[in-house]
């Protein structure tokens, strides 16, 4: 207006020019950028339960859709329990934490997802009464019908065990602590040996 008050009307850039009226033809300019700040963030999940070693991707919807800067900063309030990388949550250790998605436009808007990580002592019951448990550093497969194939791989893909069930419990003693993949027929299950 005539007094120099600038009012943002819509997103974009504008050049404001002021000129003297005394005939000296002196002027000055100012570049103004009008931005639309983030007003809300909606997460696909508000709470997730994971087993240690698992990962899960959650997504974020930034509002309004035409916000100038829709980028987010993702972080965990306790990276010992779970970490996050652009919405991909990694369960690190048993416990609870919060994953935060925060707008980077200075609006201060953020959304949170509560994460519960449970100990990976085993899978428990699988269809048909079959179970996979970790007991005293061993992987124990129970309830598998006779003749069914059992394979165990280290996390790097090395086969450490292969046998056919005899109808009784199968006890596998892996080389040490770590993440292992148990394959029963065509199904695979991840377990962590502590």
pLDDT surpasses 70 at 172:
yes
| pLDDT computed for residue 192 by the predictor | 81
pLDDT digits (tens, 9 = 90+) for 52-71: 777 899 999 999 999 999 99
State how far the alpha carbon of 15 is from the alpha carbons of 25, 27, 29, 32, in Å: 18, 12, 7, 6
Q: What is the mean pLDDT of residues 167-191?
A: 86
**Sign of the CA dihedral 38, 71, 115, 131?**
positive
Mean pLDDT over each residue of the chain, to the nearest integer: 88
Residue with more model confidence, 148 or 192: 148
* 18 Cβ contact list (under 8 Å, min separation 6): 4, 27, 28, 29
* Burial degree of 15 (CB within 10 A; 0-12, 13-18, 19+): exposed
State how far the alpha carbon of 36 is from the alpha carbons of 7, 62, 68, 108, in Å: 14, 12, 5, 13
Residue 91 CA neighbour count, 13 Å, CB half = 23
| pLDDT computed for residue 168 by the predictor | 87
Q: What is the mean pLDDT of residues 36-59?
A: 91
pLDDT band at residue 159 under the 50/70/90 scheme: very high
pLDDT digits (tens, 9 = 90+) for 107-152: 999 999 999 887 755 555 566 778 888 877 888 898 888 898 999 9
Q: Return d(Cα 118, Cα 137) in angstroms, integer.
A: 18
Q: What percent of the chain has a predicted confidence (pLDDT) above 90?
A: 43
Residue with more model confidence, 189 or 46: 46
pLDDT digits (tens, 9 = 90+) for 86-108: 999 988 888 899 999 999 999 99
| pLDDT computed for residue 123 by the predictor | 59
Element (H, E) at 189: strand 187-193
pLDDT band at residue 40 under the 50/70/90 scheme: very high
| pLDDT computed for residue 42 by the predictor | 97
Residue spans of alpha helices (H) in 9-51: none
């Amino acid at each position: 207006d005539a007094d120099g008050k600038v009012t943002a009307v819509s997103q974009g850039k504008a050049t404001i020019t002021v000129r003297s009226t005394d005939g000296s033809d002196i002027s000055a300019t100012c570049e103004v950028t009008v931005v639309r700040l983030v007003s809300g963030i909606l997460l696909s999940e508000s709470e997730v339960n994971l087993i240690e070693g698992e990962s899960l991707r959650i997504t974020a919807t930034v509002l309004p859709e035409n916000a100038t800067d829709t980028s987010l900063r993702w972080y965990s309030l306790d990276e010992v329990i779970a970490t996050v990388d652009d919405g991909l949550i990694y369960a690190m250790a048993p416990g609870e934490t919060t994953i935060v998605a925060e707008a980077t436009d200075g609006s201060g808007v953020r959304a949170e997802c509560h994460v519960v990580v449970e100990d990976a002592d085993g899978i428990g019951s699988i269809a048909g009464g079959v179970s996979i448990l970790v007991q005293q550093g061993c992987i124990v497969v129970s309830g598998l019908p006779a003749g069914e194939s059992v394979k165990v791989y280290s996390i790097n893909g090395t086969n450490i065990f292969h046998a056919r069930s005899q109808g009784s419990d199968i006890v596998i003693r892996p080389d040490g602590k770590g993440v292992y993949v148990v394959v029963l027929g065509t199904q695979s299950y991840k377990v962590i040996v502590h």
